Amino acid sequence: SIPECQQQLPHADNGVEPLPEAMLWLLLTGTVPTVAQTKALNAELQARGAHESVAETKKLLDTLPAKMHPMTQFSMGVLSLQNHSKFAKAYSEGKANKANYWELAFEDSLDCIARSPQVAAMIYKKIVTGKTDVPAIDPKLDWAANFSNQMGFTDAAFHDCMRLYQSIHVDHEGGNVSAHTTTLVGSALSDPYLSFSAGLNGLAGPLHGLANQEVLTYIFEMQRKCKEAGIDMKDKEALKKGLDKFTWDLLNSKRVVPGYGHAVLRKTDPRYTCQREFCLRNFPEDELFILVDTIYSIMPDILTKHGKTKNPFPNVDAHSGVLLQHFGVTQQEFYTVLFGVSRQIGVLSGLVWDRLQGRPIERPKSFTTQYLWEKYQKK
C-alpha cells in the first residue's frame, strides 16, 4: 500500500517521502531496497543520465515551436532518445532473442528513466524562460531532487513534494490508457522508448492526463464564487455553506464535479490522502488547500444524495494541482509531463516483466458489424 511504501521505502536525509528510485527497485524486484541499494541505483541512473543522447535531444527541442504542447515535445523527446536504444540495436543486428529480450528492455528502461527527466526539465525551462538550458546532474541529489533542481527549484520542501508526486503517480493498475498502451505497443517488441512514447500520447488525452487541470479550473471557479459572495475562507462553517450551494448549482446545471469518482476505487484514493497529509504538515493555511479540504469534507455526502456517482470520494487528481500551485509550478499545460515522468517508472518496470515472462503480442478478437447486430439486437 502507499502508506506502507511511505513507511518502508528509503527517503532522502532531508525528507520524509519515499524516493522514486526506491519505488523503481520495488517494482523491478518485488523487494524493499536498503538505503545502500537505493543510493547505488541513484548513482547508476546518474551515470546513465550523462549521455550524448540528452544533448542531441536538446538540439531537437530548440527547433520546436514555442507554442507546441509540452506533451507533444516530451513524446518527441523520448523518441529522440530512442536513437540510442540497445534493444533496437541488438534486434537489428540479430543479437536479440527470447532469452535476452528482458535484459535489453531493462537496459533501455533504466536509460530512459535516467535521461527523460532532463528532457522534461528542458521543456519546462523553455516554457518559463524560452531556453532549454538546465544545470548538470548533481551527484549529491536523488533522482526527483535532480529533476526539481533542473526545473529551477532548489527548495528542499519542493524536492520532497516531487519525491511524493513521482512515487504515487508511477502506475496504479494495468487498465488505464497509458499503462495499457505501453504494454500493447511493447508486445510487438517495440523497444521501451517507442512503447513509452506511445503511452505518453495516450496520457495526453483529455480523459486521462488532463484531469488535474480540470480540477484546478473547478477549484478556481469555487474560489472566485466564494470571494464574490464575501465568504471568509477561514470561516469554516460559512465556507461549507457556500460551497454546498455552489456545488448543487453546478450539479443541477448538468455538470460534474471533477476529481471525484474512480473507475476502480470505491473509497478515498490513498494517493489523495497522502497528498492531503503532506499539505497538513507543510502548508495547512494555504488558501487553495483550505478550499480543497473543505470540499472534501462535504462532497461525499452531496454526491451520495445526488445519486449519480458510484464512488463519491476524491481521486488523486483532486489534490495534485494544489501542491504544484503552492510551490509556483503554475504552468498547467506542463502538469501532464510531470505525470509522464512518474508514470514511466511503473509502465517500464511492467515492460521488463512482460519480456521476462515471454508475453505474446496482443491481438484482440474482432467481430463484424453484422455479428454484433445479431448478438445484441434482442437485448
**Please, how many CA atoms are within 13 Å of residue 139, restricted to the half-sphere of its CB?**
5
**Exposed/middle/buried for residue 365 (C-beta within 10 Å: 0-12, 13-18, 19+):** exposed
Q: In sequence order, which residues have a C-beta less than 8 Å from that of residue 161 and are 6 or more positions away? A: 17, 278, 282, 323, 327
Q: Encode burial over 313-326: b for 16+ CB neighbours within 10 A, e otherwise.
A: bbbbbbbbbbbbbb
First to last CA, the chain: 41
Rg (alpha carbons) of the chain, rounded to whole number: 22
Burial of 228 (C-beta count, 10 Å sphere; 0-12/13-18/19+)? exposed
Report, as residue numbers or ranges, the catalytic residues: 208, 262, 317
- Integer Cα distance of 121 and 150 in angstroms: 6
Amino acid code (one letter) for 193: Y
377 with 201: CB under 8 angstroms? Answer: no
* Phi–psi pair at 11, nearest 5 degrees: -130, 170
Alpha helices, H only, the chain: 2-8, 20-29, 35-49, 52-63, 70-81, 86-92, 101-129, 143-151, 156-168, 177-186, 192-203, 211-228, 236-252, 270-282, 287-306, 317-326, 335-356, 369-376
Place of cell 499545460: 333
